[in-house]
Amino acid sequence: MAQVSIRLNGYVYSVGCQDGEEHHLYAMARQVESWLQRARTLGGAASESKTLMMAALLMADEIFELKRRPLPDDMLATVEEAKAALRIAEARQERLAQLAQRAEELAGALETSE
């Protein structure tokens, strides 16, 4: 497990992550710091708690907008294909369970007839 130091809102934090994920963690910290900077700009000389609250609202707004954005057509097609594949797999699993049950019944019938 890797340890990295990130700076957010003027404070340094030591954070653990999986080996190889250090760059991703640094990128996330840069993104959070940009939201904090934006929140400081919007809030003026606000308290630290208000700055953190404003940054959280900015993050939530971005997530909300991303969720509302429609998926591209090719991605929608891929999702539909995946759903169809799952339905087929579930039907096959159900059929396999039925066949296994029938095999057990036949084996039981053979045992009792001997």
**pLDDT per position as a tens digit, 24-76:** 999 999 999 999 999 888 877 678 888 889 999 999 999 999 888 887 888 88
Task: List, for residues 4-31, the tens digit of each pLDDT value.
Answer: 999 998 899 999 999 999 999 999 999 9
Cβ atoms of residues 45 and 54 within 8 Å: no
Longest CA–CA span in the chain (Å) reads 89
Tokens 């000389």 identify what position?
A: 45
Other Cβ atoms less than 10 A from the Cβ of 34: the count is: 12
Q: How far apart are CA 105 and CA 99, in angstroms?
A: 10
- This prediction has a pTM of 0.56
